[in-house]
């Protein structure tokens, strides 16, 4: 886990990047809604940006992957605000879960169970440690599963009904995952949500005729989320 000094160095680097990309005023306005919320989760090892070539894992999987970068808690919460969804009876799956940031946030939202799928074994171990730390912090075991696997080969559990993507891979793998979700629906037809943040390949999902229920533009989220964000449902 990174030290306090390393964490502050990382935050200073992000602030410098923000000022360069957004300007001073917009960066200042962003601080209360983004960095303060992120700081609340400082005891977990969630942050950082890692190039995919620095991660372990099969070369044939990495060629379709994107860099590692954790979901932001503010934007994560924004995706689920005002959704009529039974979180306490729902199973959340994050494809490309990295260090498990979204699993922590989803647990805080009250999901019954959270599942992370991650090809990098080193990130998988960090995610497992973060979820154990969350269980210890709240005084009860969080129902959680971390799967070290290629997302395209992951068999969708019949109870899984909320699927989260933070631009983890290219259109080819996204298409294969959506096909796997569709096969799961043929076996067990149920209501599902698909949440896609930094949605660079949202045309893949839309070709399967899912209904869009939420959309945020890049301007509404972050200048670095070039694809904006979408929430889809099948009902």
Exposure of 93 by Cβ count < 10 A (0-12 exposed, 13-18 middle, 19+ buried)? buried
Residue at 189 is within a domain: yes
pLDDT-derived band at 220, boundaries 50, 70, 90:
confident
Residue at 63 is within a domain: yes
Residue at 139 is within a domain: yes
Q: Can you tell me the mean pLDDT for 72-84?
A: 93
Position 187 scores a pLDDT of: 96
Residue at 109 is within a domain: yes
pTM: 0.86
Token duo for residue 139: 């005084």
Integer Rg of the chain from CA: 17
Number of domains the chain is built from: 1
Per residue in 159-172, pLDDT (tens digit) is: 999 999 999 999 99
Domain encompassing residue 222: 32-233
pLDDT surpassing 60 at residue 2: no
Q: Can you tell me the mean pLDDT for 56-70?
A: 95
Residue at 204 is within a domain: yes
Residue at 11 is within a domain: no
pLDDT-derived band at 12, boundaries 50, 70, 90:
confident
Helix axes 73-80, 101-109, angle to 10 degrees: 40
Position 35 scores a pLDDT of: 62
Residue at 26 is within a domain: no
- Check which CATH number belongs to the domain holding 155 and give it: 3.40.50.150
Token duo for residue 160: 């899984």
């Amino acid at each position: 886990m990174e030290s306090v000094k390393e964490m502050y160095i990382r935050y200073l680097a992000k602030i410098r990047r923000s000022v360069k990309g957004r300007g001073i005023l917009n960066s200042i306005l962003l601080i209360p809604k983004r960095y303060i919320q992120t700081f609340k989760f400082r005891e977990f090892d969630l942050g950082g940006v890692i190039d995919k070539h620095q991660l372990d894992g099969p070369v044939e999987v990495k060629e379709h992957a994107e860099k590692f970068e954790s979901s932001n808690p503010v934007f994560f919460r924004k995706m689920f605000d005002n959704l009529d969804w039974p979180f306490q009876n729902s199973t959340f799956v994050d494809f490309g879960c990295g260090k498990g940031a979204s699993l922590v946030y989803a647990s805080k939202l009250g999901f019954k169970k959270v599942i992370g799928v991650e090809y990098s074994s080193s990130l998988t171990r960090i995610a497992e440690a973060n979820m154990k730390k969350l269980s210890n912090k709240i005084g009860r075991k969080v129902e959680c599963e971390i799967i070290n696997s290629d997302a395209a080969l992951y068999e969708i559990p019949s109870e899984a009904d909320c699927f989260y993507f933070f631009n983890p891979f290219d259109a080819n793998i996204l298409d294969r995952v959506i096909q796997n979700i569709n096969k799961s629906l043929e076996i067990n037809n149920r209501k599902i949500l698909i949440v896609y943040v930094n949605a660079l390949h949202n045309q893949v999902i839309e070709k399967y005729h899912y209904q869009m229920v939420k959309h945020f533009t890049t301007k509404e989220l972050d200048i670095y989320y070039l694809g904006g964000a979408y929430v889809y449902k099948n009902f």
